[in-house]
Chain A
């Protein structure tokens, strides 16, 4: 996994900052597995977009995205999300989807999000 993912993850999902080493390893493993099943061309596009996401702020602020103060990082990320350029918006959507997958894809953490499914869900309907 590109280390940049973990650098921006706390801006996308603040709970990432509270993850311990095991949680972070799991986060990385999920993203790695997702990327491994994608075609090489898609992985290349993602790498190119991550480069752009990281280094665009060098021109504007003199530092790469992950070295900016939190508020400026958020502003940069919003810029991509709301961009007039469809490619930027879709690239950002891809990055945030992967980060969300790494974080919310951890079934072992369901309880943290008040998600406690049961095979016998009907028995819980009228608790």
Chain B
């Protein structure tokens, strides 16, 4: 038997979780709404904080999804709550200038600001008090002030944070207020069905809505899915696609929508990232406490990069630092001495950077690091090295240098030691956790996939509500913007459902 829903949301992260909550009042009027989530809903005791175990449970390809040319790894999650389970909870409103640069007719910054602030309130976004700031973060901020660089504190969506530092592996204390803690439970209380371990393989137009081919699996972890394992077909009058910037375009492409939407999958951006580290003489507090309290946007306009505090786990640290052997081991084997910075390059939206599909319909991300991004990385490494030394580090790790380690004694030679000649893919580990674009908003199908409210051009029953909507990168951590856009899209979908009902009556 084919089950029928008034609305189906695909994905349950920042976009899908928000959409589910916005649509959930419909259930009180007897309508059926379902969320189909590829990943599991973990039990609380399954958030162990163990690096490889959690990476395998929560991330696609255990966090090691590679771009086509193998230059960059992409981190994106599959779980009840999507990537909101594994981010650090940084909650920034997108800058007005960025929305101006997006230049999407019908999309106003003021509307995004208002919606972002609504979710900031709903998800308990606030600034940590000074007692919860560890040395890794404090040293970063103090050094920025010493150097005269603009820096600010991240607002975070936490409730009862105990400072495990394990945010990227899923908070073991249930403190992070992602959609798995706020919007999805509310949607379920209102009657939305959230089906986990459920992969949507294809969407096919049918009548005035769609037919979805799905596969439910049994992953062996987490709560069992509401549906038994196996294939099934469901029908939906309205579909909201919130599977993220990799999976959303891939699903539409393998469903055959590419022919009418030439921009589908294109203009993918990623805030390509470097993890940099420096070693202090004596232990600092770094893996205790929240890992990400400050950012520096001093170089955003001039050099195209942001610096953020971060602290990673032993394997992630090891693979992110270039080199090998005794010098590399000397860094990683003293985690308690490390100060870390995450560099985010503000990449341009380029038509040829795109999501395509492989022979089995799986996503392939074809992304080239541009010369501009490579230059931004080199500038960011120089700036980070200065910051580390200003913070008191005795040696820094600089991937774009001859043998990667620069001692304090060579501080005056940073511009020479760190240079573009050494900035080569493969030699330098580049990663990304801010995946954007692929279903960009715009005016027409010629150069975009959806309108300003996320409705796919030419398919009135299909909406997109995730970071794939971004026409360019967000220039800040994106999740609050995803929620604001999902709020708009789901509101539009709800209006459509209501107006169809009125017309039928």
Contacts and interface: CB of A to CB of B under 8 A. Distances in A.
Contacts of B425: 86, 89-90
Contacts of A116: 287, 336
A13 B325 CA distance: 5
B327 to A, nearest CB: 10
Given A93-B429, A101-B315, A122 B70 contact: no
A113 B336 CA distance: 8
A82 B323 CA distance: 10
Contacts of A38: 61
B285 A119 contact: no
B333 interface: yes
Interface in B245-281: none
A15 to B, nearest CB: 6
A11 to B, nearest CB: 6
A47 to B, nearest CB: 16
Contacts of B121: none
Nearest to A95: B324
B335 interface: yes
* Chain B binding surface, main DSSP class: loop
A107 B163 contact: no
A3 interface: no
A114 B283 contact: yes
Contacts of B315: 100-101, 104-105
Interface stretch (B48-56, B112-120, B149-157, B480-488): B48-56
A120 interface: yes
A6 B234 CA distance: 50
A51 B285 CA distance: 43
Contacts of A100: 315, 318-319
A97 B426 CA distance: 11
Interface in A73-109: 74, 77, 81-82, 86, 88-94, 96-97, 100-101, 103-105, 107
B329 A13 contact: yes
A67 to B, nearest CB: 19
B71 interface: yes
Contacts of A30: 52
A53 to B, nearest CB: 13
B427 interface: yes
Contact of B288 (A13, A103, A118): A118
Nearest to A98: B319
B319 A81 contact: no
B134 A125 contact: yes
A20 interface: no
A12 interface: yes
Nearest to A119: B164
B429 A117 contact: no
A122 B290 CA distance: 8
A21 interface: no
A107 B53 contact: yes
Chain B interface residue bracket vs A:
35 or more
Contacts of A86: 69, 424-426
A82 to B, nearest CB: 7
Nearest to A117: B287
A22 interface: no
Given A89-B427, A118-B288, A101 B319 contact: yes
B314 A119 contact: no
A69 interface: no
B93 to A, nearest CB: 27
Contacts of B244: none
A82 B285 CA distance: 34
B198 to A, nearest CB: 20
Contacts of B49: 117, 119
Given A115-B287, A119-B162, A104 B132 contact: no
Contacts of B89: none
Nearest to B285: A125
Contacts of B333: 15, 112-114
Contacts of A126: 131
A122 B283 CA distance: 16
A121 B287 contact: yes
A14 B285 contact: no
B424 A125 contact: no
B165 interface: yes
Nearest to A34: B62
A113 B316 CA distance: 13
B337 interface: yes
Contacts of B62: 34, 37
B191 interface: no
A34 B64 CA distance: 10
Nearest to A90: B426
Contact of B336 (A34, A74, A115): A115
B377 to A, nearest CB: 15
A100 B319 CA distance: 7
B334 interface: yes
A124 B158 CA distance: 19
Contact of A77 (B50, B324, B332, B337): B324
A121 B336 contact: no
B326 interface: yes
Nearest 10 pairs between A and B by C-beta? A89-B426, A122-B163, A121-B288, A121-B163, A90-B426, A115-B335, A114-B336, A100-B318, A104-B315, A104-B314
Given A90-B425, A123-B163, A125-B132, 5 more contacts: A15-B333, A81-B324, A117-B165, A119-B162, A126-B131
8 contacts: A37-B56, A88-B426, A91-B426, A93-B429, A104-B318, A118-B164, A119-B164, A119-B173
